[in-house]
Amino acid sequence: MIEMVQHSYPQTSIRQLCAWLGVSRSWYSAHLPADEQMNPDVALRDAMEQLVLEFPGYGYRRVTQALRREGWQFNHKRVLRVMRQESLLCHLQRHFAVTTDSAHGYQTYPNLLASARLTGLDQAWVAEIVCTQMAKTHLFAGRGRRYHVANLHLVVRHHDPINQ
Q: Per residue in 79-134, pLDDT tens?
A: 999 888 888 887 767 777 777 777 878 888 888 877 888 777 777 777 776 666 66
- Residue 26's domain spans which residues? 1-37
102 belongs to a structural domain = no
* pLDDT score at 162: 43
* pLDDT score at 161: 45
Characterize 75-114 residue by residue with b for buried, 16 or more Cβ atoms within 10 angstroms of its Cβ, and e for exposed: eeeebbebbeeeebeeeeeeeeeeeeeeeeeeeeeeeeee
- The number of folded domains in the chain is 3
- CA separation, residue 28 to residues 23, 35, 43, 118 (Å): 7, 14, 21, 87
pTM of the model: 0.39
Query: 154 and 141, same structural domain?
Result: yes
Average pLDDT over the chain reads: 75
10 belongs to a structural domain = yes
70 belongs to a structural domain = yes
140 belongs to a structural domain = yes
159 pLDDT tier (thresholds 50, 70, 90): very low
Query: 48 and 28, same structural domain?
Result: no
* pLDDT score at 153: 57
12 belongs to a structural domain = yes
Strands 144-153 and 125-134 turn out to be: antiparallel
Query: 45 and 28, same structural domain?
Result: no
Query: 127 and 88, same structural domain?
Result: no
151 pLDDT tier (thresholds 50, 70, 90): low
Query: 28 and 5, same structural domain?
Result: yes
Distance CA 99, CA 143 (A): 17
Query: 46 and 32, same structural domain?
Result: no
* pLDDT score at 7: 74
Distance CA 27, CA 164 (A): 85
* pLDDT score at 152: 63
Q: Per residue in 33-86, pLDDT tens?
A: 655 555 667 888 888 899 998 988 889 999 999 999 998 888 899 999 988 888
Query: 43 and 86, same structural domain?
Result: yes
% residues pLDDT > 90 (the chain): 11
104 belongs to a structural domain = no
Query: 25 and 58, same structural domain?
Result: no
